């Protein structure tokens, strides 16, 4: 079909032909890369096109406009569908579609929010996209409660597939979405009944509609390849009140293909060249032109742009008018611009557990930092988030101003939902025991990949939690978290340093994992910080050696006091100076200039040891292969903390004896 032929079509015919052109872009992109997913993108295209053409509210000139509707492609493998739509919106050049899955392109195999304009969330691992969308819808409701519904009135839309629904993280998040009554969340379930390995019926016979009704969702079932039915369903979903909506679209895998409709072979592979040629002929696309999209078709899609731009202008006027109120202006800066206000933090220079210090810091932040929300995985008293809850109240379907989020025992959904809230613009935290970080590790990884500042709070950070035993005592967790690129693992040594870690995390644009103690810790960092230390350097000299430096001890968290005591013991017994280096964040220390790192850890001093009540893995890069790593390289035991301290050799005398060979 030529451009002139397109111009002569009726409007419904133009809608269909433009949808066909999108299918052509998908086929060509996947074929050009020689990898990717065609079938699911074809079955989802009618919903996606209808949404972007008729309903999605956005600014064509600013993909980060605050009040835009959010669209999350939870079925991230269908990325060529999203990239094609982003090109129609004007956010991506055609050249980027041609570079699909190539090094350095803005069109990677799965959508990446930190990389590609218009992508709201990184959605590779299935189930997390819809979960982050729940967080976005939740954050939107909270923001609207404080800024007003004239300023925040966006919808959150999702396309998910069978794989998403099968992931438990999605089910836990959807339970919460129904419980919270997130009625501006609209999910399209592309029920094409095909997965990589074949038909979904091989592994699942769940009544999805009944399941979501039980989750308190509004459920609509339609022919998902009928654009009129899709349009009506979206309108019905937007008129729904009090419940999120799932539109179950019964679709056909690879719908529109010449001979391969319904085939699982279209899921994760390019279509054969002959199939592409035959399909293009069927869809009235020139078979001899790759990435064909006539200007007239592009202009047809963009005919809403003037109205969308006017909508943005009207919104700006609303904000400007409301900003005459100083309180609104301050809140808008927090929610829409990410400004962290001044917070009056308490003096924590006293003996206390760092989890207790965290609780006091949370309460202080609650007073002035309104764009700050989060909760605990049913561990409020243990995580010390109860005071925050008492101040700000639970978020409920009736109370959208509540900023304490009741997640229940759902660690992984909590991690993904807080990521979604963070992506929307609310500073977010989720708290649990450190031993349960494994449950949400995939969400931590996506936070790090997306370069967002989600706060992951972990209390009970070592064997010192005591009698609960090895199932609850983290051993390998801290070093394993340090392996995640771009994640900052913070383990403060006392209450005062917890305050510095907390303040750093509030301002951080990178995700942080705060590892906090159950047991009380004596204040040990005051003297150093009184002379102007900087937590942001990650590691520093806490105790300078008496005399000529001969030994360096490196410690974190609760073991810093132990290192200080051991240093005194060693100086008395060995007759050489012992330096104690506090390393609250290895990642930040590693990023310091070599000159600073060498100042703290002089290369000429080979006699070194690390002390941390965790697996010793990872410390040898600081202490060298000849150094001594003191830690816990087995699972824990169920016993009082004092007994465990002796059992694992973590007393002053036992550590000093272990270091006799230095």
Annotated binding-site positions: 37, 77, 124-126, 162-163, 192, 194, 267, 355, 382, 436, 460, 468, 472, 518
Calpha distance 517→497 (Å, rounded): 13
How many Å apart are CA 45 and CA 403, to the nearest integer? 37
C-alpha closest to that of 83 among 53, 109, 103:
109
Whether the Cβ atoms of residue 240 and residue 61 lie closer than 8 Å to each other: no
8 A C-beta contact, residue 479 and residue 579:
no
The whole-angstrom separation of Cα 544 and Cα 558 is 19
Binding site feature residues for Mg(2+): 162, 192, 194
Q: Which residue pairs, CB below 8 angstroms and at least 24 apart, start in 384-390? A: 384/355, 384/356, 384/358, 384/359, 384/459, 385/359, 385/431, 385/457, 386/359, 387/359, 387/360, 387/362, 387/363, 388/359, 388/362, 388/363
| Nearest by Cα to 301 from 30, 40, 60 | 60
> Residue 259 corresponds to which tokens in the numbers above?
């001979």
Phi and psi based region of residue 107 (left: phi greater than 0; alpha: psi -120 to 50; beta: remaining): beta
Specify binding-site residues for substrate. 37, 267, 355, 382, 460, 468, 472, 518
Closest to 264 in 3D by CA, of 219, 342, 200, 205: 200
Contacts of 73 (CB under 8 A, 6+ apart): 79, 81, 82, 111, 123, 129, 158, 159
Q: Looking at 411, 545, 587, 612, which residue is catalytic? A: 411
Where residue 540 falls (left for φ over 0; alpha for ψ -120 to 50; beta otherwise) is beta
**Cβ atoms < 10 Å from Cβ of 33:** 18
> Which helix H or strand E contains 646, and what residues bound it?
helix 641-647
What ranges make up the beta strands (E) of 446-571? 455-459, 488-490, 512-515, 520-521, 540-543, 549-555
Gap between the Cα atoms of 78 and 159, Å rounded: 10
Residue ranges for the known binding site for thiamine diphosphate are: 77, 124-126, 163, 192, 267, 436
Nearest alpha-carbon partner for 566 in 619, 630, 648, 518 = 630
Mind giving me the DSSP string for 424-456? HT-EEEEEEEGGGGGGGHHHHHHHHHHT---EE
Query: Residue 36: which of 78, 98, 96 has the closest Cα?
Result: 78
Q: Which residues, 6+ apart, have CB-to-CB distance to 362 below 8 Å?
A: 384, 385, 387, 388
Q: In what order do the strands lie in the sheet containing 488-490? A: 372-376, 427-433, 455-459, 512-515, 488-490
What is the SS3 assignment for 610?
Answer: strand
Confirm whether 411 is a catalytic residue. yes
Mapping DSSP to helix (H, G, I), strand (E, B) and coil, where does residue 306 land? Answer: helix
194: helix, strand or coil:
strand
For the annotated catalytic residues, the residue numbers are 411
């Amino acid at each position: 079909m030529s451009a002139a032929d397109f111009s002569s079509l009726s409007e419904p015919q133009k809608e269909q032909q433009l949808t066909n052109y999108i299918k052509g872009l998908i086929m060509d992109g996947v074929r050009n890369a020689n990898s990717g997913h065609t079938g699911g993108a074809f079955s989802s295209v009618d919903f996606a096109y209808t949404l972007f053409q008729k309903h999605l509210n956005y600014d064509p000139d600013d993909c980060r406009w605050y009040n835009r509707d959010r669209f999350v492609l939870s079925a991230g493998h269908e990325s060529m569908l999203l990239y094609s739509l982003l090109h129609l919106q004007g956010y991506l050049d055609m050249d980027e579609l041609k570079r699909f899955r190539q090094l350095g392109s803005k069109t990677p195999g799965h959508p990446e929010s930190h990389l590609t304009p218009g992508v709201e969330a990184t959605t590779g691992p299935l189930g997390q996209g819809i979960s982050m969308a729940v967080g976005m819808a939740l954050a939107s409701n909270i923001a609207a409660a404080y800024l007003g519904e004239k300023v925040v009135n966006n919808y959150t839309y999702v396309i998910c597939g069978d794989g998403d629904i099968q992931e438990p993280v999605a089910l836990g998040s959807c339970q919460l979405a129904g419980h919270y009554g997130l009625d501006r969340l609209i999910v399209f379930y592309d029920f094409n009944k095909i997965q990589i390995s074949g038909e979904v019926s091989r592994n699942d016979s769940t009544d999805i509609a009944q399941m979501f009704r039980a989750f308190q969702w509004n459920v609509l079932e339609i022919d998902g390849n009928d654009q009129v039915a899709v349009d009506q369903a979206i309108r019905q979903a937007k008129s729904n009140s009090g419940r999120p909506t799932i539109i179950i679209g019964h679709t056909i895998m690879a719908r529109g293909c010449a001979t391969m409709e319904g085939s699982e072979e279209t899921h994760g592979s390019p279509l054969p060249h002959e199939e592409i040629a035959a399909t293009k002929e069927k869809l009235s696309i020139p078979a001899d032109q790759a990435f064909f999209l006539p200007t007239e078709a592009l202009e047809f899609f963009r005919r809403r742009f003037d109205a969308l731009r006017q909508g943005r202008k009207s919104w700006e006027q609303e904000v400007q008018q409301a900003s005459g109120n100083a309180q609104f202006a301050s809140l808008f800066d927090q929610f829409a611009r990410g400004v962290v206000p001044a917070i009056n933090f308490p003096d924590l220079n006293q003996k206390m557990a760092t989890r207790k210090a965290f609780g006091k810091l949370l309460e202080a932040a609650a007073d002035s930092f309104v764009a700050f929300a989060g909760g605990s995985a049913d561990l409020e008293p243990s995580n010390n988030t109860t005071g925050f809850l008492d101040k700000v109240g639970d978020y409920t379907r009736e109370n959208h101003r509540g900023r304490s989020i009741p997640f229940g025992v759902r660690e992984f959904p909590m991690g993904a939902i807080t990521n979604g809230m963070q992506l929307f613009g609310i500073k977010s935290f989720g708290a649990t025991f450190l031993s349960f970080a494994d449950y949400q590790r995939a969400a931590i990884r996506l936070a790090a990949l997306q370069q967002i500042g989600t706060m992951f709070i972990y209390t009970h950070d070592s064997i010192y939690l005591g009698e609960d035993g090895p199932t609850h005592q983290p051993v390998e967790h801290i070093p394993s978290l340090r392996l995640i690129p771009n994640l900052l693992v913070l383990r403060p040594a006392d209450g005062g340093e917890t305050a510095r870690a907390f303040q750093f995390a509030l301002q951080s644009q990178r995700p942080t994992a705060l590892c906090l103690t159950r047991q009380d810790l004596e204040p040990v960092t005051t003297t150093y910080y009184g002379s102007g230390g900087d937590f942001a350097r990650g590691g520093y000299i806490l105790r300078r050696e008496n005399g000529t430096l001969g030994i360096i001890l490196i410690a974190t968290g609760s073991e810093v006091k132990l290192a200080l005591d051991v240093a005194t013991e060693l100086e008395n017994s060995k007759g050489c100076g012992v330096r104690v280096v506090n390393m609250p964040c290895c990642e930040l220390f590693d990023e310091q200039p070599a000159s600073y790192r060498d100042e703290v850890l002089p290369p000429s001093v080979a006699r070194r040891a690390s002390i941390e009540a965790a697996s010793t893995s990872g410390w040898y890069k600081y202490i060298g292969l000849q150094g001594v790593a003191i830690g816990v390289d087995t699972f824990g035991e169920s016993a009082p903390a004092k007994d465990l301290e002796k059992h694992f050799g973590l007393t002053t005398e036992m550590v000093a004896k272990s270091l006799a060979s230095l």
